[in-house]
Amino acid sequence: MIKLEIDGKAVEVENGSTVMEAANKVGSFIPHFCYHKKLSIAANCRMCLVQVEKAPKPLPACATPATEGMKVQTASQYAKTAQQGVMEFLLINHPLDCPICDQGGECQLQDLAVGYGGSASRYQEEKRVVVNKNLGPLISTDMTRCIHCTRCVRFGQEIAGVMELGMAGRGEHSEILSFVGRTVDSELSGNVIDLCPVGALTSKPFRYSARTWELSRRKSVSPHDGLGSNLVVQVKVDKVMRVLPRENEAINECWLSDKDRFAYEGLNSAERLTKPMLKQDGKWTEVEWNVALDYVAHALANIRNEHGADAIGALASPHQTLEELHLLNKLVRGMGSNNIDTRLRQLDTRADGQVKGVRWLGMKVADLAALQSVLVVGSTLRKDHPLLANRFRQAAKRGQQVNVLHVADDDLLMNVANRLIVKPSQMADALAQVAKALAALKSQPLSKSVADATANIRVSDAAQAIAKSLADKEKVGIFVGNFAEHHPEFSTLYALAQEVARLAGGTLGFLGEAANSVGAAAVGAVPGSKGLCAQGMKSQPRKAYIVFGAEPDLDAADGEATLAALYTAETVIAFSAFKHAASRYADVLLPIAPFTETAGTFVNTEGTVQSFNGVVKPLGDARPGWKVLRVLGNLMKLDGFEFNSIEDVRADIAADLQGFVAGKLNNAIGEVTMNLAPATAGVERIAEVPLYAADPLVRRAPSLQKTADAKRAATAGLAPDVYDNLKLVDGQSVRIKAGAAEVNLPARRDPTLPAGTARVALALPETLALGAATTLTLEMLPVAVTIGHAAE
Amino acid sequence: MSALNYGPDAVILKGLTGENWRLKDYEQRDGYAALKKILKEGMKPEDVINEVKKSALRGRGGAGFPTGLKWSFMPRSFPGPKYLVCNSDEGEPGTFKDRDIIRYNPHILIEGMIIAGYAMGIGVGYNYIHGEIWADYERFEEALDEARKAGYLGKNILGTDFSFDLFAHHGYGAYICGEETALLESLEGKKGQPRFKPPFPASFGLYGKPTTINNTETFAAVPFIIREGGDAFLAQGKPNNGGTKIFSVSGHVNRPGNYEIKLGTPFAKLLELAGGMRGGKKLKGVIPGGSSMPVLTGEVMMATDMDYDSIAKAGSMLGSGAVIVMDEDTCMVRAAERLAYFYFEESCGQCTPCREGTGWLYRVIHRIEHGQGRPEDLDLLLNLADNIQGRTICALGDAAAMPVRAFVKTFRAEFEYHIEHKRCQVKTGGYSNAAEPLQMAAE
Amino acid sequence: MSLLSALAKQKIDRELTKYPADQKQSACMSALAIAQDEHGWLSNELMDEVAQYLGMAPVAVYEVATFYNMYNLKPTGKHKVTVCTNLPCALSGGVDAAEYLKHKLGIDFRETTADGQFTLMEGECMGACGDAPVLLVNNKRMCSFMSKEKLDQLVEELKK
C-alpha cells in the first residue's frame, strides 16, 4: 500500500494505483476526457493535469503513478491554470453547435467548459471542419466535434477485440474514422456512443428525437440473452426513447451489447398488438378483454371436457418473465395438463429424466475471469453472448486458455488456444475425443458409458491439445453453448461435457440461451416426466395450444412442423405483444405487455434473480401477462390465482426467490445413451439462430435489421468445397432442398466452415420451409440475386 | 576523392573520404579493434559500462543524458528478449550529422552498437533511419551484410558465445519519430505517437521489453572510448562535457557542413571552420542546438563556447548540435513563422495542447508576417507557449513553444515593427539568400 | 487477385525476417513503401491487401499510411518532387528553388502538371540541411545543392 496526500487529505492506495484513482478515493474530482476506468491509459486529453509537489511541471493524474509521500493538489491555482489552458485548446476547434447537438445536456465537454472554459474565445482564426463518416445504422457521426480522446479506438482494440475505428492523419488533421467506407460491425459497437465524451458519436436511432433533460431514467433488465444486462430505459411521455447501460460490475460491467441497446425500437413497432382480438367466421375483430378472456376460458374448458386436459399444450418464450411463466405453468397444470415447454429450440430432450436440476452457468459471471483454461462447446459465442465473450476475451489477455469445439471457426476476436472445428454430426465424437485424451492424461478411468462409446475412436491432435490445456490447469470450466443445446444429439453432448468437466476437475456450465431460460426451468415451465416437450407437442399435435410470447414459426426448432400442428388445432390462444403469424392459426390474440410495460423478473444464466418494474404504461389495451393469466385463472375457477400485486405472485413462487432459484441450480446429468456419430448424407446444415432474429422484440428493431450481421443472416454461407463444387459466383443464389422443402438464398463462400457444411440459419422467414432439417441438397440457380437486395 | 574536411579534432569522422566506408577500410582505421579487445580480453560488461561512464559521454541526440548511466539502467537479469535501438531518425531542422556517420562510416556505428549490446546483455538491435535518406539506408543495409559475413554480427561473434544481430528499419516522413517512444511505436509498425512515461523504455520499450535507445553519434563514439579509454575521450572535451561533438552548421555561412570539434571550443572557432559569414554579412542570430532550441543573438553566441554547460548558461541548449546561422538581413518573424509551421505540420495530434496549440501559434505568427498582426498577439503567443510547454506527452510541445518564445522575446522589436507597420523591417523581407540567389526564369 | 507482385511479397518477406515472428506489424511501413514503389500510390485495395498480408486491421494500416507523409494516398505525377523549405534550407535557397520549380513547371505545391509528369510537394526537414537546396524525387532519390542549372538539368532528365 502507498500513502499519499491529495488536496491535503491522506489516502492509502494499492501499489500500482494512479493519482486519479487516489483522488477518486478521497472524492476529489479531477476533470478528464480520455481517461476511462475500463480502457488503457492514453493521457492524451491532458485535462487531468494536477500539481504534484516537487514535479517541475503539471502531471496527468490518470497516468501518474501514486508514490509514497506524494503531495498532490488537484485544484490549486497552478493545477487550474493548466486545466484551463487545456480546456481553451479543446474548445478552439470545437463547434459552437450545442443547441443542435444530441449530446447537449449530457456532454462532458459542455459540463467541464462551464467550470474551466473562458466566457469568450481568444481564438480568432478559422475553425476546423471534419467530414462525417457513415459508420452504419447504429452510430451517427459529427466528427467536427471530436476531441481526439481515442476512447472509441481503444474500445475497439481492447474490449470489442476488433480495431474498426482508428485515428488517421496527424496533428490538427487527425481524425477518427473507419477504414475507408467501412461500417462498424462489432456486436458491441454502441458502447462507443456512451464512451464518446462529446457529440461526435451519437445514437443514430435516437438522433434528434429528444433532449436528455426531457427523459425520465428508469431501471430495467434486458430481456434478450442470458446475461440479463442491467438497463436504464429512458422514457418521454410514455414512450421508450433510448436504452443505456446501468453499471453492474457483476453482470454487464458498464457495457451493453447492441442487441440490449437498440432492440427497444421494436417496442414502438407498428406491429404492436394493442387490442384483444377474436377470429369469428374467419374474420378478426377487436373485442374487450372480458369478451376475449371469456372466450378463452370456455374454449379451453371445452377442449378439456371433450378431449381431456392432455389435449392442451403451451409453448412459451423463455424471454417472458418469471411471474408470467409461473402463472402459465400453474394454469396449464391446474387444468390438468403437463404439456408446457419454454425450450422451443431444443430438439433432443431424451435425457430430461436424467437431469438433476436447472442448468446454468455453473458459476458467477464475474468468476469466469479466474479460470485458467476453458472449453467452449458449440457456441456462436460472440453473437449469442457478446458480453460473456468479452469476459473470456479479457481473461484470455491475462493468460486464460480459451479452447473451442465448434462447427465453424468463427473469429472470436481473442486469443484462442486450441480449436477443434468439425461438422455438426461429428461434435459428439470430437467431444468424446477430448474426454478420452483427458482420461489418459489424468490417468483416470472414463465412466463406463463413455469408455464403451469411445473405445474405437481416434483422438485428433486438436482434441489432444485441448485435453492437455484442460489437464494442465487447476481452474477449469467447460461451457456448453446454444448451438450444442439445439443439437439433435444434445443429450450426448451434455453427458460428454459433464465427463470432460469431471476428468478435468472443472466446472460444467451452460452459457444460457434466453433472458429467463433459468427462471423458466426453475418455476417448472418445462414438461417434467409426464408432459410433452415442445418437440412432442409438434409431433403429436394437441387440440388446443396456448402460445405465450413466442412466435413458434421462428422460435421453435422446427417452425414449419410446429406451424402445421398449430393449424390443425381446434383452438390456439396467442398471448403476444405483437401481431404475427398467429393471426393465421390462432382464434384469439391477447395483447400482453413487453418487459418495459410490466413488472417482472428474469433469472440470468448465473442464477441471479433480477426483478424490475414497468417503465411506461402498457400500449393501448395491452396488459401485463401476469394480470391476464390471473384473471384467466379466476375465470376458469382454478385455485391459487388470487393475487393483488406482482409481489403476491412472487411470494407464490417462493418467499425467498433468490434462495429458491439457488436451490434448483444443478448441472448434473445421469446416465445417457451415447450416440457419437450418426451417419449423414448430403451437405450438413449449420443451423444457427442469428443474433438479431433471436426473439420477437429484436426481430422488430429496424436499425438492428440494417446491420451487417442481420444482412448476412439471410444468406447461405457455404464451405469452400461446397461453394466451389457448385461453381458459384459472388452473390449468386442457391436452391437449398431438404426433403420436399426448398428455399433459395444468396450464397457466399465461408472459409470458416468445415468441408461439406453450409450455414443456413434458423429463425428466419426465408428458411422456415426447411424446418429443422440437418442435411441439405444444394443446387445452383441460374439467375444471380444480389446479396444486398435480398437482405435489405 | 580528397579527404572530407570535418576539422582537425575529428574522432568519429576522422580520415573519411566519402568512399572509404566499407568494412576493409574501417578495419584499416582500427575498426572493430575495440570489439576484438573486449571479446579477446574477456572484458566484463560492467567494465564496458564503467568505461563509458568515465568518458562522460552524453547523449548526442539532443537531451544530453549521460550514456553510461542510461546503460546501467538496463535490467541485466531480465528473462527474455531485450532490445537495443539506435535513433538515426534525424529530422530536427539543422541537424545532418548522423547521415554522414551512416553513409561515410557505417561500421563505427555497427561496432558501437555491438559493444553496447555486449555491455547490456542485449541480443537484438535496430537502427531506425530517417526515411528521407534512402540511399544511406541502403548503404547501411550493405554494411550490415558485410559485418554479418565477417562474423561481427550474428551468432557467436568472433567465435565467442556472444551473439548479437542488428537490423535497419526506415522511417517514412515523420519528425516525431525522432522522439524515442514514438520511434518505438513506429518500429512496432504503428503511427509514431509518443508514449506517456513512465514506464520508461528501460523497463517497457520495444514490444514491451526492456530497451535502450541512443543516438547514432552516441554509439559511434563508443569504439574510441573502449579502444583508447574513457579518460582519453573525456580529455577531448572538458569535465561533464566529454569528447568531441559533431556540429552541423547551416544557414548563412560560407561552408555549411559538419564539423567535429572538442566540446568547449568557442563558437567563433566553429564559425571560422565553417568559412565565416556568407557575403561577409553581420551575424544576427544563431539557433545553437537544432530548431527546437531558443535562438540567441549573434553577440551572445560570439561570446559562448560550444558545450552543454556553456550554451545552457547563455540561455539555450546544445541539443543535437545543429547550429543555424542567420545574418543581419534575415527576417526573424519569417524565420519564426517557418519553424512554427514545421511544428504545426509535424505535431502527431495525440495530445491536446500540441495538436491544437501548434496550429494556433503558427496562424498567429503567419498573420503577423502577413501584415495582419494585432498588438495583443505577442502576449498571446507567449501565453500560448506557456500553455503548451510542459503540458504535453512528449517534448514536441516544448520544442514548438521554445523557439516561438525565444524569437518573440529576443527579437520583440522586430515583431512589433511588423505589427505596427504591416511589413518587414529588414530589406530582403525574408531569408536573406545573398550567396547564390536563384534567379527566376526569364519572363 | 493479388495486387502485390511476387517480387513485392518477396521483399516484404525479407523485411519480416528482421522482426520477431509474432511482430509482423513491424514490417508495415516497409511493406507500404514497397507497395507504393510498385503502384505509385496506396489505393484502399492495396492497403487492404497489406493489412491481410501482415494480419493487421485495415484501419491500423490506414493510420500508418496517413501518418507518415511520404506515402501517397492518391495518384501523383510520374515524378513526385519534394523540396525542403524548412528554415535551414530556406536560408540557403530552399524556398527559392521551390519557387523556381513552381514557375518552371507551372504548378503550385500539391499540384500535378497537366502531362502527368510532375507533382510538386513541400517537404520538411530531410536531414541534409548542409546540402541545401535539397529535394527528393519519388521519395528515394535525394538531389543536393540544387542551383538553377541543376534544377533545369534535373527537369530535363526526368522528362525523358
User: What ipTM score was computed for the predicted complex, to two decimals?
Assistant: 0.97
Please write the tens of the pLDDT for every residue from A4-59: 999 999 999 999 999 999 999 999 999 999 999 999 999 999 999 999 999 999 99
A180 contacts C66? CB cut-off 8 A: no
Distance from the Cα of A700 to chain C's closest Cα (Å) equals 32
Mean pLDDT check: name the lowest of A603-617, A776-790, B107-121.
A776-790
Please write the tens of the pLDDT for every residue from A406-453: 999 999 999 999 999 999 999 999 999 999 999 999 999 999 999 999
Q: Nearest residue on chain B to A123, judged by CA atoms?
A: B360
Residues for chain A: how many in total? 792
Residues 70-99 of B with CB under 8 A from C: 81, 90-96, 98-99
In this prediction, what percent of chain A has a pLDDT beyond 90? 96
- DSSP sequence for C95-134: HHHHHHHHHHHT--TTEE-TTS-EEEEEE---S-GGG-S-
Residues linked to residue A615 through DSSP beta bridges, in sequence order: none
**Does this model's pTM top 0.90?**
yes
Residues 227-256 of B with CB under 8 A from A: none
Q: Which one of A86, A122, A171 has the shortest CB-CB distance to B347?
A: A171
Distance in angstroms (rounded) separating the CA atoms of residues A373 and A700: 38
Chain C interface disruption, residue of B175, B209, B433, most C CBs within 10 A: B433
Q: Is residue B352 a contact partner of residue A45, using CB atoms and an 8 Å limit?
A: yes
pLDDT given at position A600: 98
Chain C interface disruption, residue of B83, B103, B172, B193, most C CBs within 10 A: B172
Q: Which one of A162, A170, A179 has the shortest CB-CB distance to C62?
A: A179
Classify the phi-psi angles of B64: left when phi > 0, otherwise alpha if psi is within -120 to 50, otherwise beta. Answer: left
Residues 70-89 of C with CB under 8 A from A: none
Distance from the Cα of B254 to chain C's closest Cα (Å) equals 10
Domains and CATH numbers, chain C: 6-67 (1.10.10.1590), 79-159 (3.40.30.10)
Please list the pLDDT of chain B residue by residue as tens digits (443 residues): 457 899 999 999 999 999 999 999 999 999 999 999 999 999 999 999 999 999 999 999 888 899 999 999 998 888 889 999 999 999 999 999 999 999 999 999 999 999 999 999 999 999 999 999 999 999 999 999 999 999 999 999 999 999 999 999 999 999 999 999 999 999 999 999 999 999 999 999 999 999 999 999 999 999 999 999 999 999 988 888 889 999 999 999 999 999 999 999 999 999 999 999 999 999 999 999 999 999 999 999 999 999 999 999 999 999 999 999 999 999 999 999 999 999 999 999 999 999 999 999 999 999 999 999 999 999 999 999 999 999 999 999 999 999 999 999 999 999 999 999 998 888 776 898 744 544 443 33
Sheet holding A401-406, edge to edge: A416-421, A401-406, A373-377, A476-480, A507-510
pLDDT at residue A789 greater than cutoff 50:
no
Contacts of A172 in chain B (CB under 8 A): 344, 347, 349, 355-356, 358-359
Please write the tens of the pLDDT for every residue from A3-19: 999 999 999 999 999 99
B196 contacts A60? CB cut-off 8 A: yes
Three cell numbers, residue B307:
558545450
Chain A interface disruption, residue of C32, C59, C62, most A CBs within 10 A: C59
- At how many degrees (to 10) do helices B216-228 and B33-41 cross? 60
List C-alpha distances in Å: A394 to A370, A401, B41: 11, 11, 51
pLDDT given at position A783: 58
Nearest to B323 by CA among B271, B406, B249: B249
Distance in angstroms (rounded) separating the CA atoms of residues B109 and B140: 10
pLDDT at residue C9 greater than cutoff 60:
yes
Residues linked to residue A623 through DSSP beta bridges, in sequence order: A592
B370 touches chain A (CB under 8 A): no
The backbone torsions φ and ψ at residue A52, rounded to the nearest 5 degrees and listed phi first, read -120, 130
B203 touches chain A (CB under 8 A): no
pLDDT given at position A780: 87
pLDDT, averaged across chain C = 96
Contacts of C153 in chain B (CB under 8 A): none
Chain A interface disruption, residue of C32, C66, C124, most A CBs within 10 A: C66
Contacts 24+ apart (CB under 8 A), A111-120: A112/A31, A112/A33, A112/A47, A112/A87, A113/A87, A115/A31, A116/A31, A116/A47, A116/A80, A116/A83, A116/A84, A116/A86, A116/A87, A117/A84, A117/A87, A117/A88, A117/A91, A118/A84, A118/A88
Q: Is residue A786 a contact partner of residue A747, using CB atoms and an 8 Å limit?
A: no
Distance from the Cα of A774 to chain C's closest Cα (Å) equals 34
- DSSP sequence for B119-163: HHT--EEEEEE-TT-HHHHHHHHHHHHHHHHTTSSBSSGGGSS--
Nearest to B201 by CA among B128, B292, B104: B128
Element (H, E) at A10: strand A9-13
The 3-class secondary structure across A669-691, one letter per residue, is ECCCCCCCCCCCCCEEEECCCCH
Please write the tens of the pLDDT for every residue from A119-165: 899 999 999 999 999 999 999 999 999 999 999 999 999 999 999 99
pLDDT at residue A788 greater than cutoff 60:
no
